[in-house]
Structure 1
Amino acid sequence: MVSASSDGIADHSRYVSPTVAQSVKILVVGAFGVGKTTLIGSVSEIAPLRTEETMTVASVGVDSLAGLDGKTTTTVAMDFGRITVSPDVVLYLFGTPGQRRFWDLWEGLADGAVGALVLVDPRRIEDSFEVFDQLELRTGMPFAVAVNQFPGAPRYTADQLRDALDLLPDTPIVDCDARSRESSAATLITLVEHALRFPAKAYA
């Protein structure tokens, strides 16, 4: 089911401000259940587009729900949102599905993106290993890492995470709360600042 999530309140931000001179495409990636849909929903100034389906018995044994109590839906194509981060810059956010069987979609979604925000669940760090491999293999684009601090999750230092995830020294690692607009926006700004230090390139 494709739906534009809305609470019935009129959306007065559906049009981009006439002052906007630059639009930037960002991927939001991560393993299954790390909070990609939540982050885009929390920060988007428009009703986010979601392609979620209810999880069925067919996913039993395929999609692990360990540590994901209460999760009943999953993204099957993409999430989409928009945030204006300054009077002249707007970000378009494309969230990718986390499961391996949907990874072929990444190539199309990556086309034209300047960078990727990788969400990591500190309770399931090992689930992110293949995500980084996928990101580097299929896109090669710059990325920043956002550690979604779930309640009760273990806390790791940036150095511990850098070692565990085998990241380059200049890869930004930030903590975030995907439910918080302010936290999510700050994380995206960190990514954009990092990505803009790279030469302009169209990724695919």
Structure 2
Amino acid sequence: MVISGAVNAGKTEFIKAISEIEVVSTERRATDDTKMIKKETTVAMDFGRIAIADDLVLHLFGTPGQKRFDFMWEILSEGMLGLVILVDSTRPETFRETNRIIDFFVSYRDTPYVIAANKQDRPNAWSPDELRLALRQPPQVKVLPCVASDRESVKNILLELLYVIQERSED
């Protein structure tokens, strides 16, 4: 599974919340696209793993959010089963970048995906329905509430993605 989204959407936190192994992370001190110094940012990938059943283990690959590292997207999407697009639902200024990320992955590979509306625990968060409209997503794409630091929330997102993958394979 590939976990992608704009800078600070919560990708690393998402993987850390659910992984059964210590997350392999390539976070480094860096500036973001606006030259603001960010404490740390993913520069290659994050990797985690969770066993869903005895015969089903999900490998989670988190992509970098900054444009200058987007060459990793193609590498990380080789063989991906599904895609989670994380959106910081408190930062509408990132929605255009989120659309660019969705467009990349959809055009690169026809892979099932869901959108996780992160930071739903914050008072200024856009609802999943508002995000669907802002991101111009069709009704069949699931836009789900999420709190990336909450294991149950992350588990629900991954289960919904597995349902989407299963539905797609039955068609």
Q: 2:48 aligns with which of 71, 74, 81?
A: 81
Higher share of residues assigned helix: 2
Cα deviation digits, residues 137-184 of structure 1 (max 9, x gap)? 323322101111165342434332211111121111111111111211
Corresponding position of 2:132: 162
* RMSD of aligned Cα (Å): 2.0
Tell me: CA distance 1:64–1:30, structure 2 relative to 1, closer, same or farther (3 Å).
farther
**Cα distance, 1:72 vs structure 2:** 0.1
Task: Provide TM-score, normalisation by structure 2.
Answer: 0.88
Q: Is 1:35–2:10 an aligned residue pair?
A: yes
Q: What is the distance in 1 between the residues matched to 2:18 and 2:160?
A: 14
Q: Is 1:190–2:124 an aligned residue pair?
A: no
Q: 2:81 aligns with which of 114, 117, 138?
A: 114
User: Which stretch shows the higher mean deviation, 133-142 or 115-124?
Assistant: 133-142
Corresponding position of 2:23: 48
Q: What is the distance in 1 between the residues matched to 2:119 and 2:158?
A: 16
* Matched residue type, 2:134: A
- What count of residue pairs does the alignment treat as equivalent? 167
Q: 1:95 aligns with which of 54, 58, 62?
A: 62
Q: What is the distance in 2 between the residues matched to 1:144 and 1:64?
A: 30
| Conserved? CA contact 1:28–1:95, under 8 Å | yes
Q: What is the distance in 2 between the residues matched to 1:123 and 1:112?
A: 32
Task: Provide TM-score, normalisation by structure 1.
Answer: 0.75
**Cα distance, 1:103 vs structure 2:** 1.1
Residue identity over aligned pairs, in percent, reads 37
**Cα distance, 1:63 vs structure 2:** 4.1
Q: What is the distance in 1 between the residues matched to 2:148 and 2:129?
A: 22
Cα deviation digits, residues 38-88 of structure 1 (max 9, x gap)? 110110000110011112xxx36x2465xxxx9500000000000112232
| Conserved? CA contact 1:29–1:36, under 8 Å | yes
Q: What is the distance in 2 between the residues matched to 1:183 and 1:117?
A: 13
Q: What is the distance in 2 between the residues matched to 1:116 and 1:38?
A: 16
Bigger Rg, which one: 1
Unpaired runs of at least 5, structure 1:
1-25
